[in-house]
Chains A and B, each alone.
Chain A
Amino acid sequence: MERLLDVRRLETEQLGPLDLYLQAGELVQITGASGSGKSLLLRALADLDPSSGTVRLMGRDRERIAPTDWRRQVAYVPAETAWWAETVREHFPAGWQPDQAASWLERFSLPEEALDWEIERLSSGERQRLGLLRAFLNRPRILLLDEPTANLDLENTRRIERAVRSYLAETEAGALWVSHDTLQRGRLGGRVLEIRDRRMVA
């Protein structure tokens, strides 16, 4: 079976060379001491930082995909999502589908009015849920989740875990999830990879 994401000899200034892969629908957790380069790995995969090596998405080489398309398909979601305009809907990607948004709002336990909420007044839980929802609207094939629940209470954490699970089940996308939380590690399950001394340890 063809791998959804196939990474060979990925190397940046502080990381690698390392290999990893993701199957369709799979969630893989990334752990490692702080400063070991977990975020750097995700940033390199999203092509936000320069890296060498080959990265293939469904058999297609990253270099052959325009950067804007790549990042729509390989969505990076940081621990603190960035917001720049007044209301939530202004941050949605061009061409987003209202029915899709509505369906995800419901699954994130957010009301439909949330689209018109002012960013200033969002709680951190709402920000993270909406940040993830916004990324889902691009229909990415890969989710790169950089401690998306780091600053959240358990209720919001569980909501996000469930939403990601249902996104993967529905779209056959894959996810790399960076987490510090050992309890979360148990809940999420799946393969766990550790970064140590620039390398990947299974």
Chain B
Amino acid sequence: MSVISLSALDLTLAALLVLALAGLTLWARLAVGRSLLIASVRTVLQLLLVGLVLQTLFDHAQLGWVALMAAVMLLVAGYEVMARQERRFAGIWGYGIGTATMFVSAFAVTVLALTTMVGPSPWWEPQYAIPLLGMLLGNTMTGIALGLDRLTQAVWRERRVIEGRLALGDSWLCATSTMRREAARSGLMPTINAMAAAGVVSLPGMMTGQILAGVAPVEAVKYQILIMFLIAAGTGFGALGAVWLASVRLFDHRSRLRLDRLHPGRR
């Protein structure tokens, strides 16, 4: 295994490409030049920082530090889920539903994969645990955010129908069945699409990275398959759980639709 190390000059050349693009957008008056540059600078800073953090973590491989890193990743992902909701739950629930379901699904799947499938020693070896968890959290986050957003939007839009059905004596489960099903489905779709297109339309990032790092393609593919399945499971369980928790929260003990528990988000 050999990696060609990149020099500062290599990165500068790549940066020139972005600068050229920024120049072109300026000339075309697309008004994205500024955000393009800010985003590029953020990429550099954030990735350098995370590189340093990971290096330190690898050098001091202790369960406590790995757990801390995992917790930070979870909390940030939880915030992202909440920020993507147009109508999020008021109070602790706004943050809690996404974070709790991500914790249960992404963490459980990661730990299961580490202990039974990948099997590094110790099982929390940061070189394996952190990237694995990162990929799972990133995808689970998208699935949960989509599912929750879809559910709350649909319930808000269809409140008259829901209450009409409640008024006729339907249970809240029955009155929301279509909406819950569609929300869960939309949370799962990105993962299903990614699996269906894997290798044909796109070469998945992790596999590409491993091949660049000199790993034999067949080995890289095996890892990619494992990851895809883990992501599907994590995202699926997460989205289903989040949609379920959210729909429970939308009704009270007398099966009243409680839209007052939602408030409009930032958009």
Q: Which residues of B contact A181 (CB under 8 A)?
A: none
Query: Chain A interface: which size bin?
Result: 20 to 34
**Segment among B25-33, B78-86, B248-256 that sits at the interface with chain A:** B248-256
Taking chain A's interface residues, is the majority helix, strand, or loop, or is none over half, making it mixed? loop
**Segment among A19-27, A63-71, A157-165, A170-178 that sits at the interface with chain B:** A63-71
A47's nearest neighbour on chain B, judged by CB, is B254
Q: Does A76 contact B (CB under 8 A)?
A: yes
Q: Does B72 contact A (CB under 8 A)?
A: no
Q: Which residues of B contact A47 (CB under 8 A)?
A: 254, 256
B164 touching A138 by the CB < 8 A rule? Answer: no
- B164 partner, pick from A69, A72, A78, beta carbons under 8 A: A78
Assuming the contacts A68-B171, A71-B169, asked whether A82 and B254 have C-beta atoms less than 8 A apart, the reply is no
Nearest CB of A to B55, in Å: 55
Q: Does A169 contact B (CB under 8 A)?
A: no
Q: Does B168 contact A (CB under 8 A)?
A: yes
Q: Does A93 contact B (CB under 8 A)?
A: yes
Q: Which residues of A contact B166 (CB under 8 A)?
A: 48, 67, 71
Q: Which of B161, B165, B168, B252 has the most CB of A within 10 A?
A: B168
A46 touching B168 by the CB < 8 A rule? Answer: no
B161 touching A82 by the CB < 8 A rule? Answer: yes
Q: Does B125 contact A (CB under 8 A)?
A: no
B165 touching A84 by the CB < 8 A rule? Answer: yes
- B167 partner, pick from A71, A80, A83, A84, beta carbons under 8 A: A71
B163 touching A50 by the CB < 8 A rule? Answer: no
How does the 8 Å CB contact mask read for A133-164 relative to B, with 1 for contact and 0 for none? Answer: 01100100000000000000000000000000
A135 touching B168 by the CB < 8 A rule? Answer: yes
Q: Which residues of A contact B168 (CB under 8 A)?
A: 71-72, 75, 91, 93, 134-135, 138
Nearest CB of A to B3, in Å: 58
CB within 8 Å of B: which A69-127 residues: 69, 71-72, 75-78, 80-84, 91, 93
Nearest CB of B to A14, in Å: 12
Q: Does A49 contact B (CB under 8 A)?
A: yes
A68 touching B170 by the CB < 8 A rule? Answer: yes
Q: Which residues of A contact B178 (CB under 8 A)?
A: 84
**Residues on B close to A: CB < 8 A?**
158, 160-161, 163-171, 178, 252, 254-258
**Residues on A close to B: CB < 8 A?**
46-50, 67-69, 71-72, 75-78, 80-84, 91, 93, 134-135, 138
Can you list 5 pairs linking A and B with CB atoms under 8 Å apart?
Answer: A48-B256, A81-B164, A83-B164, A135-B167, A135-B168
**Given A46-B167, A50-B252, A72-B168, 16 other A-B contacts at CB below 8 A?**
A48-B163, A48-B166, A48-B167, A48-B257, A67-B166, A67-B256, A68-B255, A72-B169, A75-B167, A76-B167, A78-B160, A82-B160, A82-B161, A84-B178, A91-B168, A138-B168
